[in-house]
Structure 1
């Protein structure tokens, strides 16, 4: 249990520290290069945004599985899937490296 608490703390601190880094890299990148991502933006994307997107996908999947009996009963399983799992998966795996748009 102690390991899980430490892991959650490390992920939270990394997310807290990566936010301003990503914003500054994106602002510098798109103003100077007119839409082409820089190396700094790609590094921030690879080591901060993609892992956080993957964590978001895991939480979305867990939420979808927990809500599956209720969404099946209500007849909106497809809508739950489209809202809980597709956006994090598309953000994490289906966009060019360094493209935050």
Structure 2
């Protein structure tokens, strides 16, 4: 069993280290202005990661933030910051979950 673990670790490190130059080349190409992968046209892996991981977490954050906003509403009203609390707990996660394009990093629509 020890040989299996050692082999698995070596294989994982080898695969991880062999992918590093590809990631570095991708970052350099994107920072140089490569029009293929921009904010408006994110790569497929960014879209898949956003769909599988980020969106469900952002929707959950919106639901939990709404519950926290309702629970803390009397205290926010006494403090006079209902608008700020609603913005931070409900609107911002909701905007990131439902308005942001798939794979994009910024929320909202682009205004020209």
**Counterpart residue number, 2:79:** 74
Question: What is the distance in 1 between the residues matched to 2:88 and 2:51?
Answer: 24
Deviations 1:3-59 (A, max 9, x none): xxxxxxxxxxxxxxxxxxxxxxxx858836341211221111111110010111111
What is the CA RMSD across the aligned residues, in angstroms?
A: 2.4
Moved >4 Å (runs of 4+): 27-30
How far off is 1:97 after superposition?
Answer: 0.7
Q: Which runs of 5+ in 2 are unaligned?
A: 1-23, 107-112
Mapping of 1:5-16 within 5 angstroms? Answer: none
Deviation at 1:69, TM superposition (A): 0.8
Partner residue of 1:54 out of 41, 51, 59? 59
Q: Which runs of no fewer than 5 residues in structure 1 stay unpaired?
A: 1-26
In the alignment of these two chains, the number of paired residues is: 76
TM-score (normalizing by structure 2): 0.59
Normalising by structure 1, we get a TM-score of: 0.64
